[in-house]
Structure 1
Amino acid sequence: MNDRTSGPDRAEREELARLLPAPAERELPPGRHLHHKDTLMRLIDQDGDRVPARPRPRLLRPAVLLPAVGLALGGVLLTTLAVTGRDGAPTPATAGTASRAPAPPRATVLLDRVASVAARQDEQEVTDDQFVYVRTLQSRNEGEFGGPVELTGPHEREVWMAQEQRPVIDVGLIREDDAYVPIEVGVPDGEPTVGRPAGLHRPTYTWLASLPTDPDALLKRLAAEITRDQDASGTPAKERDRAQDTFDAIGELLRETVMPPKTAAALYKAAAKIPGVSVDSDAVDAAGRHGVGIARDDTRAGWRTAWIFDPATFEYLGERSYLFKDTSMGEKGTLINKSAVLERAVVDALREKPSAGTPESGEPAAGESPTA
């Protein structure tokens, strides 16, 4: 991917890259993680003081939050946490509009570093008959929609996502709470059965690799796909927030996929162009790992979402969302999303685990193909 940065900005990026610690090849003790986080935040602060924020072009109008394809691909995940330091609240965006304020320099610098590391990862070969496996640790809200948060304790979740490009009915499999649940495309009563092709709501490795790697072109592509979905669902224009919907769309793509390196780098660079994106200087994932977050406030819902990155390796760790004001769901500071990615891999069969190399024995789950 072409680097369009030049002149003083380029020199500052290169200096930052030189000063930052090299990616670690082993797990660091907590004290070293804290050291790296402090170093990173000081360098970002220095860069932010030197580099003035430049106006960004307004985005095309994307759509609402990505639906979970009716597949239970996500859930609102909860715990309670005091709000920690960050680099200033994003400028609120009213419903149906996007803030004109660009991402602050600190967020831009951090995302640029994350993108650079992501671009250097190894490309994978993934065939249509394989599955992407992702194991996470999560908490879940079992309260009524819009009502007070009721949290479960952190629990493990495993997903196997089909990589076929053609439309499929059997999208994959989830293991959660010691039960296997097939992921299938929902079909309304009386309607013909139509599979779901690879795309924004079923992001296969091949589809992700086909996305533009220029950040501006990628934003336009995401905007067009989200808008098409929202138009089809009949969502009123007044309920749309272009910037938030784009941020949420990128977050959805990061969670339970194996990401091509060039696509990951482009997504992070595109996120730096979203108005209102900021840095959450100390974010903790569901596994208790401390990191730095890229955050944005959803002013419609009253919560802030942060993607969490390891301060030494810049690896994506997980995500958290918490209330930035009192709402019907709870008091300010109540966490409404807490997850941690523990493992990602490409496997050859449903129920196959990277560590084991073979599918688990046992009867297929209800609706699961016995030959899978």
Structure 2
Amino acid sequence: MDDLQLLRQLGAETPPATPETLSPARNRLMAAATPAPTTIRRPTRRSWRGVLGGVAAAGVAAAVTSVLVLAPDQFGGDAPAARADATQVLRSAATAALQVPDATPRADQFIYRRTQDGPSIHESWLSVDGTRDGLVRESAAGKRTETPVPGCRDGRAALVKGGEVLPGRTEPCTPEPAYRPDMPTDATAMRAYLATHGSGEPGSVNAAGKDVMYFAESYLRPASRAALYEAAAAVPGLRTVENVTDGAGRSGIGIAWPSTRGEGDIVLVFDAETYAFLGTSGTSSVQALTVVDKAGQTG
């Protein structure tokens, strides 16, 4: 289907005055006109690398920053449906996101996330403003390990080695907030935000999929999460894949993002009835994502 036909199809599905009716060609043109993007900033401080470096391939790194590259025949889903179905699923997910109670995290709170990858459970308590000491907990094969995540205060953070804080030792740091208060709350602004802060080349659908996956697994207020899904719905080439499962084996409907380098598809999994985000196909299952008052608290 050419861009003109796609534009007519989208025009029949959505109000013509909205940004969602813009053609993929228009989106690519806007992306090309945008200044060189600043990479979406994921945790890079040495203490975080120490926390994640010792985790197995199916560990917290997969839940926080992994790139999923599974083709549809690798996860046993049915043949992909039309792109219009993917668009509708994402818009339904946006509507569902707006039904979730809103909560603005305070600077002194923590974002608690619990994910599952098969039998492994991964929990993290990360500082909302990046200055408080957080915690990562791994539970697998009957064993549980806990690793501190030092906050960054006055440009210094406690040094962690082997999962332990070294007394009296610090390292330079920059605060890494677990919550982004600047995330847009409408689809147009969200598309611009992703284009400007994208992790890949401008116009790369595969890179956009990775960025959407990263934010979907992060704490977002309802309006921002809805804007994320609405922005994703305008991306060309998306497909639905029926009967996929997330990292905990929960069944849902998948949204497959095409790979530009032949590596396979990124697949986000949504509940087929409620359209709540479940995780990524076969790798990550988001069990909890909320705001708490202290590290170790789960609700």
What is the TM-score of this pair, normalised by structure 2?
Answer: 0.68
Q: Tell me the equivalent position of 1:213.
A: 185
Matched residues, number: 239
Q: Tell me the equivalent position of 2:99.
A: 120
Residue 155 in 1 paired to residue 120 in 2?
A: yes
* Distance across 2 between alignment mates of 1:130 and 1:246: 29
Match of 2:283 among 300, 324, 338: 338
How far apart are residue 120 of structure 1 and its match? 2.2
Unpaired stretches in structure 2, ≥5 consecutive residues? 1-9, 16-20, 53-59, 160-169
CA shift digits 1:48-77 (9 cap, x unpaired) = xxxxx9723234265778655353352358
How far apart are residue 241 of structure 1 and its match? 6.4
* Distance across 2 between alignment mates of 1:222 and 1:183: 27
* Distance across 1 between alignment mates of 2:125 and 2:111: 5
What is the TM-score of this pair, normalised by structure 1?
Answer: 0.56
How far apart are residue 314 of structure 1 and its match? 1.0
Q: Tell me the equivalent position of 2:258.
A: 297
The answer to whether the Cα contact below 8 Å between 1:63 and 1:245 also exists between their aligned partners in 2 is: no
Call closer, same or farther: CA 1:267–1:113 in 2, change over 3 Å.
Answer: same
Match of 1:9 among 4, 7, 13: 13
How far apart are residue 9 of structure 1 and its match? 3.1
Match of 2:230 among 269, 289, 302: 269
Unpaired stretches in structure 1, ≥5 consecutive residues? 1-5, 12-52, 89-103, 140-153, 231-236, 321-336, 355-372
1:226-245 equivalence runs, <5 A: 226=198, 242-245=204-207
Q: Tell me the equivalent position of 1:49.
A: none
The structure carrying a bigger strand percent of its residues is 2
Call closer, same or farther: CA 1:65–1:242 in 2, change over 3 Å.
Answer: farther
Call closer, same or farther: CA 1:303–1:196 in 2, change over 3 Å.
Answer: farther
The answer to whether the Cα contact below 8 Å between 1:291 and 1:311 also exists between their aligned partners in 2 is: yes
Over the aligned positions, Cα root-mean-square deviation in angstroms equals 3.3
Q: Which amino acid aligns with 1:225?
A: H
Match of 1:248 among 210, 221, 224: 210
* Distance across 1 between alignment mates of 2:266 and 2:175: 28
How far apart are residue 285 of structure 1 and its match? 1.3
How far apart are residue 277 of structure 1 and its match? 1.7
How far apart are residue 124 of structure 1 and its match? 0.9
Q: Which amino acid aligns with 2:61?
A: G
The answer to whether the Cα contact below 8 Å between 1:66 and 1:249 also exists between their aligned partners in 2 is: no
CA shift digits 1:165-212 (9 cap, x unpaired) = xx64x673210141112235899xxx97131343xxx4x0xx24x322
1:60-79 equivalence runs, <5 A: 60=31, 62=37, 67-69=42-44, 71=48, 72=52, 73-75=60-62
* Distance across 2 between alignment mates of 1:225 and 1:7: 28
Structure 1 runs, 4 residues or longer, greater than 4 Å off: 61-68, 76-80, 184-187
